Amino acid sequence: MGNVLSIALPNRDEPLLKRRKTGTLKQFLIAFGVASAVGYLVNFMLIWRVLAARALTERLGAVVLPLIAIVLSCVVMWVLLTVFAIALAQQPAVRRRLQRETADYRANAEAEAYAAEERAAEPVSPAPS
């Protein structure tokens, strides 16, 4: 869901053609691909756990134990992924890459539109006679 929202309502207005000109299209596609792959992998893991819990429910005849098992395993997975992400972000090489800016905020579409508005709002001075 986050990937869909980031495309539908991006934080900054940077069309793909503009990214191609600024040289940030490759980084965007890699980040989008990795985020999508991780999202689908997590969804697959959750579906797999639900199906495993359903099979356990059929074998045991009770719902409470599989429900507790699936909630606990999801919480443990979330904690492990969070700890892994934080530990990875603390590595100097990864940290430098994460802090590198991939977009030029002075030359993007939003900045250009703002500059055009500023130019249009400037009062026209009379020509010297």
Residue type, 2: G
Neighbours of 76 (CB within 10 A): 10
Residue 57: inside a domain, yes or no?
yes
- In a domain? residue 65: yes
Per-residue pLDDT tens digits for 80-125: 888 888 888 888 887 777 676 555 566 666 777 788 888 888 776 6
117 domain residue, yes or no: no
pLDDT for position 5? 64
- Whether the full predicted model's pTM is greater than 0.85, yes or no, is no
Q: Is the pLDDT of residue 4 over 80?
A: no
Count of the separate structural domains present in the chain = 1
- Considering the domain boundaries, does residue 108 fall inside one? no
Complete DSSP assignment for 20-52: HHHT-HHHHHHHHHHHHHHHHHHHHHHHHHHHH
Residue 25 lies in a domain: yes
* pLDDT averaged over every residue in the chain: 77
Residue 27: inside a domain: yes
Q: pLDDT (tens digit, 9 = 90+) per residue, 17-58?
A: 777 777 777 877 887 788 888 888 888 888 888 888 888 888
Q: Is residue 63 part of a domain?
A: yes
The predicted structure's pLDDT at residue 120: 87
> How far is 63 from 16, CA to CA, in rounded Å?
49
Q: What is the pLDDT of residue 46?
A: 82
Q: What is the domain range of residue 86?
A: 2-7+15-97
> Domain for residue 129, yes or no?
no
- What pLDDT sits at residue 127? 60
Q: Which residues contact 103 (CB under 8 A, 6 or more apart)?
A: 12, 14, 19, 22, 24
